[in-house]
Amino acid sequence: MQFFDGIRYNFKGLMMGVKTPSLLMLGLLRLVVILILTIVGIGLVLGKYQELANLVWTQPESAWLVWLWYVVAWLLAVLLSGIAAVAAFLISQLLFSVVVMDYMSRITERLAAGREQSPPSMPWLAYFVYLVKQEVPRTTVPVCVSLALMTIGWLTPLSAVLTVASPVIAGIFLAWDNTDLVPARRLVPFRERFRFLRRELLFHTGFGICFLIPVLNIVLLSFAPVGATLWYVDRMDGTAGGRNTTHPV
């Protein structure tokens, strides 16, 4: 049932986010920032793709080879656009979304549990640095795992299996990025939080598999902190079930 709970809490969080004005505003703000950074990054790549292609292969004078140069240039543009999109997500996540996600999680915890278990008092700048430090391992671990899977796929006959498994694993880590907000805020050590991910792997698989649905995943990711926090409070604190979780803030 944990797998289906993951799916259910994802959409439960979306419904709560849409119905709660403050959560709706923050979710849309997060979405807009990622889109703007992505569009700017891709725009820069597409505007300079010929110059970038010349760095790799100088445009030939032969008419027979020019067409091949343009094919290479556009393939390079597509590759760099993908890298720009990933970079935009990472930059937004580290420098902006981590704060928005934490704030959305705080609001959700107050609505679900009636109160928030706040971290020890510290200056805002110190707390921001702390949040970024928590986000770095959550971002780098999935990248390392993805690179390891790619290497295994290249060196072994498992590429077909990994083609299916890799997106699911990416979804699991995206789910953990959201369920980890509350324990990270409560200063739970990283090793213990990662152990918690392994124990609740089925839930994270169900929660993350929703992020593999094109178009819908953009909306779900914007409000994922809400559903993840609702689940964590229910699972660990056991207080959300009897509360009203749709009261506007």
Q: Could you give phi then psi for residue 122, rounded to 5 degrees?
A: -155, 155
User: pLDDT tens track of the chain, all 249 residues?
Assistant: 899 999 999 999 999 999 999 999 998 988 888 788 888 888 887 887 778 777 777 877 777 778 888 888 888 787 777 677 667 766 776 666 678 888 999 999 999 888 887 666 677 777 777 777 776 776 677 667 766 776 676 667 776 676 667 778 888 888 998 999 899 888 788 888 889 999 999 999 999 998 888 778 778 888 999 999 999 999 886 644 444 443 344
| CB-based burial label for 199 (10 Å; 0-12, 13-18, 19+) | exposed
Q: How far apart are CA 133 and CA 192, in angstroms?
A: 16
Is the sign of the CA dihedral 195, 200, 201, 206 positive or negative? negative
Say if residues 181 and 228 touch (Cβ distance below 8 Å).
yes
Q: Could you give phi then psi for residue 147, rounded to 5 degrees?
A: -65, -40
Q: Residues 189, 190, 192, 198: what is their CA dihedral angle, to the nearest 10 degrees?
A: 160
The domain limits of the chain are 2-114+121-234
Residue 90 burial (CB count, 10 A): 16
Say if residues 23 and 112 touch (Cβ distance below 8 Å).
no
Please give the structure tokens belonging to residue 82: 């993908």
Residue 127 burial (CB count, 10 A): 16
Helix (H) or strand (E) holding 196: helix 190-199
Which pTM does this prediction carry?
0.71
Say if residues 93 and 135 touch (Cβ distance below 8 Å).
yes
Instruction: Sort residue 215 into left (φ over 0), alpha (ψ -120 to 50) or beta.
Output: left
